Structure 1
């Protein structure tokens, strides 16, 4: 199980309003099969979720009979990821940051009400539409109903646990780290390596929140 996927995502050559997600062409057949399986999971989840204002639209999909090649086409968000925007030199108001946190929370609540656990919540997996509103992406490793997750959260968004299962609590923990990232414009413990972060999280030693806006909300998510 991996903490992220390595699918290729690029604008469709015939329509730059769309983006095509497919397995990396240079992977071995077994790895391509794994990535197609993730695409199939994503399609399954989109069929359940249908349209929602916190999700980008799935346009079409296809895969080969042997399941070593395939693709999913989505609408393309030109602004890019929330993570990249936070890291840019753009002027961002506190009101805008709060809106993004509320929008992310709304999207995750919708997923949970639909029987879906995202399993990799972070600003990298949120994009901004033309109205600068958050939309949640990447369900290729998500859990739905009784199906186990196909990936795990990145270290800064990962709730330490003995079993690599995802549930509402693990998504909420990741949401707390994402809110921290949005309000601070930097991820939790940005200066530390992942091994140190893992050890601190196991001790429930999280970043200081006294001067962090929304700190009390983040603290609840991290409990």
Structure 2
């Protein structure tokens, strides 16, 4: 990665997140600037450093280098932005299967390091230049049993349960729903409800085990399993994703033809 001495000349504004401002360094790297004020911001930022240092190098975790100015992070395309920018059929099905398996691998690895992401979703996954997915954004995640400082989106939050592996898995079900359909669960309610009402309504539906219909979806059994508490570990989720599609060697062959391996 680039040395921090060149960042001030090369960077350009991308976004202002809850914790930090993010700038582009070049086409491969962004910098998440170290917050200069705010107890919550500094605490969440320091947790992110701990998480990245704990996670180290993994093929489905964005790479990170800690500098005095901030975190130098691998740059990619937000998975949600990619899904929303094209039609549902524009992304080959083999690619979506591959992404589902890779995301399951990544989250299983995160949990193996005693980390709860606590904001699992397509907004926190990037697609790299080789069309593989990687998790990002561990600011405020739970580590070593500490309560997370952040929480899931309204469409991924499991009410009534303490945040942990099972709530990450619940959110993974919502992520799979969005990966297949290109929209978040109950997205149709966004058009008629303000955010406060939307959160309350969807929380009530989820509390009553009322979920969007998934019968016609290929990921149906896995999504339902995540939402209904079938799984205790992400390894179980990954196993069932693979089982949904039988002999995965055929999918890998199709994937290879896309030039992604």
Could you tell me which runs of 5 or more consecutive residues in structure 1 were left unpaired when the two chains were aligned.
63-69
Displaced runs of 4 or more, over 4 A: none
The aligned residue for residue 125 of structure 2 is 126
> Cα gap change, 1:211/1:16 in structure 2, threshold over 3 Å: closer, same or farther?
closer
Distance 1:117 1:212 in 2: 28
Q: Whose RCO is larger (CA < 8 A, sep 6+)?
A: 1
Count of aligned pairs between the two proteins = 202
RMSD, aligned α-carbons: 1.8
Query: Structure 1 residue 24: deviation in Å?
Result: 6.8
Q: In terms of Rg, which structure is larger?
A: 2
The structure with the largest helix share of the pair is 2
- The within-5 A match list for 1:1-223 is 5-12=18-25, 15-22=26-33, 29=37, 32-62=38-68, 71-77=70-76, 80-89=77-86, 91-161=90-160, 165-192=162-189, 193-223=198-228
Is the 1:11–1:20 contact (alpha carbons within 8 Å) kept by the matching residues of 2? yes
1 CA distance for matches of 2:133 and 2:171? 16
Q: Structure 2 CA distance, aligned partners of 1:75 and 1:97?
A: 21
1:22–1:113: structure 2 CA closer, same or farther, 3 Å change rule?
same
1:59-83: CA deviation from partner (whole Å, max 9, x where unpaired): 2233xxxxxxx62221222xx1000
CA contact (8 A) 1:59 1:75 kept: no
